Amino acid sequence: MRQHRLTSFFVLAYVVSWTPWLVHTAGLSLGTPFFPGGPLVAALVVIAVAEGRPGFRELGARLLRWRVGWVWYVVALGLPVVLVLVTGLLTDWLGAPAPDWSSIVWADVALTLALRLVNPTDSPLGEEPGFRGYALPLLQRRRSPLAAAAVLGLLTAGWHVPLVPLGNLGWIGLPSTVVIAFLYVWLVNRTGGSLLMAVLFHASQGAFTFGMLGYTGAAADRAAHVYFGVLVVTVALVVVGDRAAWRRAPASAVAAEPGTDVDRVPARR
């Protein structure tokens, strides 16, 4: 595990999250058919075995990296909302039933966001400390942010596969997961490796959904396909419009070498 930290992390993340699903398909039950906290558990186990206290300090420093400028808070919390709203408008334009804007209860959105930020068994805290907090810095030690985003997108999409047969995710959600990984990587790197921004982005992504626009059945399926297209265009704009961000990650968003004092690793803006 010490020599293959990245591989160990992904194997553990899959095993911990997929085991309830495999048990569920065998006709048994562990209380939940899929455990979203697998990446968090995997990161903590690998850090404990392979890195110890310096590794926990490095992960904690990324989670508490909040001095990133107010603009990035707007991006982290607002971009997921904008993506859904644009999807609603385009879905309506393509002939699906018009979204029910009056059904949006912003107080419910805020409450859902708050709950997702403190629940370690929910996706933001269950996934992000592992995928963007631990795996991404390791991937960026030898890869460009663009390559790291592609690898991480494929592996996170694969981790979500059981949600498709369970009915919690449409098949189009898998390529959408690959594409949106580029936005996560861009946001984390542009904020000096802030894991907090990834957690906020993920929490916002799940707090405001197509269901809140009144989409159900075939309309919801069409909206999910439109959402994929919106993501592709958004990522293309970010990659072309901010090319410098994809060449090299800042030092503060790259895993420190074993034995390095992480407090002395400079942030490269």
pLDDT at 91: 86
What pTM was estimated for this model as a whole?
Answer: 0.91
Instruction: Choose among 140, 181, 137: nearest CA to 158.
Output: 181
- Burial of residue 95, with CB atoms counted within 10 A of its CB: 0-12 exposed, 13-18 middle, 19 or more buried: exposed
pLDDT at 261: 45
| pLDDT tens-digit profile, the chain (269 residues) | 888 999 999 999 999 999 999 888 888 777 789 999 999 999 999 999 999 999 999 999 999 999 999 999 999 999 999 999 999 889 888 776 767 777 778 888 899 899 888 887 788 999 999 999 999 999 999 999 999 999 999 999 999 999 999 988 999 999 999 999 999 999 999 999 999 999 999 999 988 887 788 777 888 888 899 999 999 999 999 999 999 999 999 999 999 876 554 433 444 43
Instruction: Choose among 123, 103, 106, 105: nearest CA to 115.
Output: 123
pLDDT at 213: 81
pLDDT at 260: 52
| Structure confidence by residue, pLDDT tens digits, 151-182 | 999 999 999 999 999 988 999 999 999 999 99
- Burial of residue 28, with CB atoms counted within 10 A of its CB: 0-12 exposed, 13-18 middle, 19 or more buried: exposed
